[in-house]
Structures are given as C-alpha cells and as structure tokens.
Amino acid sequence: MIVETLLIWSPYLLGGFGWNLLIALTAGLIGLTVGSLLATLRQSQVRAVAHSSLGLSRVIHNLPTFALIFYTAAMLPGEIALPGTSLVMPVPSWFKAALALSAMQIGYTAENLAIALGAWRKGDRLRALLFLPGWLNGFLITLIASSNASVVGVDELVSRCDTLINASGHTTLMIPIYLYASVIFICFCLPMSIAMRYLKRAMLHRHG
C-alpha cells in the first residue's frame, strides 16, 4: 500500500520539488547579482566604501534565514503597482521565500568573490576558480533550506507531503512519505556534490 501510494503520488510530489528548485535558483541568482555588486565595492579604493560593503555583506550573511522567511512573507505586499503605469505585478510567496534565502548567497558571494577577484588579478587562477564549486555548494544548501518555505504556504515538496498525509487519513504514511521526500533531495544533491568534488579535484590537478 505504501509503495503504491508513493508511486501514484510521485508526479505530484516531484512537482513540489520543482518549486524547491525554482526557489533555490532564484535565490542563487539574486545572491550572485547583489553579492557581486558588494564584492566589487569591496575592491574600491575609497576606504569608506570598501568597509561599508564588507560590513553590509557580513550582516546579511548572518541574518537568520528562517526568521527572514516569516518576515518577508508578512512584510512584503502580495502585489506591487508599477510607478507611472496601471500595471500591477504580483509578488508570490515562493519569490518572497527566495528573497529571504538569498541572504546567505549574497553573503557568501560578497565574501568569496572579492577574494577570487583579488586572486585573479594576482594571477592565482586556481584560487579564483575555486569560487565556482563553493558557490554551487551554497546553492545545494539553499535548495535544502527551501523546504522551510512550506511554513509560509509555498506549495513545495514538504508542503505537498503534508497535503498527501492529510488527504490519505493515515498517519502511518507520515514517516514513509517524509523519507521519500528526503530521498528526492538526496537523489538530486548527492550527484551534484560528487560532481563538484571531481570538479575541484580537476582544478587542483590542472593548476597544481
């Protein structure tokens, strides 16, 4: 019964995992964009700008992600009217969660890209390129953390697990369904982790 239930509902659960991927990718892109700007400002010859960027990136990096998800969900409006137009842009819950989760990516990018840029200018290509596997590792951490988005109503994997358990009316399915969700995360993250390990090893071998 348990195996049959999981097979029947797999497309539904995998659809929820698709939202986890979207949240993590969006958070990663926001983090890369804003973090790159802060990393660039840290290279400024104006000491006040460089120190301000450093301080801001460290503050953002240390913000509690779980609390940020609640804060963005509660404080950001559900839609924003574009100035000078009659257009109204929706701000969905999944984007609010991605915005909250981007804090960690912003902090990591600002800290480590600044180091990578400095290494690149000094000709240390290896140290500069090692930023890439590190950033991808941060993406995987963000992907796992995206399951916290369920607490603000995002229809991602964990949320769909809850829906399935409630719909079945069988509390005995709770552990198998959550284990199945864990397997989905592992099946995606583990190959990427192994690939990043080989990528790092290849970089060290090539530039060693």
Encode pLDDT of 66-92 as tens digits.
Answer: 888 988 888 888 888 878 787 888 899
The parent domain of residue 17 ranges over: 2-207
User: Above 80 in pLDDT, residue 205?
Assistant: no
Q: Looking at residues 11-24, what average pLDDT do you find?
A: 96
Q: Looking at residues 105-125, what average pLDDT do you find?
A: 86
pLDDT confidence of residue 81 = 81
Residue 73's CATH number:
1.10.3720.10
pLDDT confidence of residue 208 = 59
How many structural domains compose the chain?
A: 1
What is the distance between the alpha carbons of residues 199 and 133, in angstroms, rounded to a whole number?
Answer: 7
Q: Looking at residues 115-120, what average pLDDT do you find?
A: 86
Least Cα distance to 56 among 102, 107, 108, 100 occurs for 107
High-pLDDT (> 70) share of the chain, %: 99
User: Above 90 in pLDDT, residue 143?
Assistant: yes
Q: Looking at residues 174-202, what average pLDDT do you find?
A: 91
Q: Looking at residues 123-138, what average pLDDT do you find?
A: 86
Q: What is the mean pLDDT of the chain?
A: 88
What is the distance between the alpha carbons of residues 17 and 177, in angstroms, rounded to a whole number?
Answer: 14
Q: What is the pTM of this model?
A: 0.90
User: Above 70 in pLDDT, residue 35?
Assistant: yes
Q: Looking at residues 47-63, what average pLDDT do you find?
A: 84
Least Cα distance to 106 among 75, 148, 68 occurs for 68
pLDDT band for 100, please (50, 70, 90 cuts).
very high
**What's the 3-state SS for the chain?**
CHHHHHHHHHHHHHHHHHHHHHHHHHHHHHHHHHHHHHHHHHCCCCHHHHHHHHHHHHHHHCCCHHHHHHHHHHHCCCEEECCCCCCEEECCHHHHHHHHHHHHHHHHHHHHHHHHHHHHHCCCHHHHHCHHHHHHHHHHHHHHHHHHHHHHCCCCHHHHHHHHHHHHCCHHHHHHHHHHHHHHHHHHHHHHHHHHHHHHHHHHHHHC
Encode pLDDT of 151-165 as tens digits.
Answer: 888 999 999 999 998
63 Cβ neighbours under 8 A, 6+ residues apart: 103
Lowest mean pLDDT among 36-40, 80-84, 144-148: 80-84
User: Above 80 in pLDDT, residue 105?
Assistant: yes
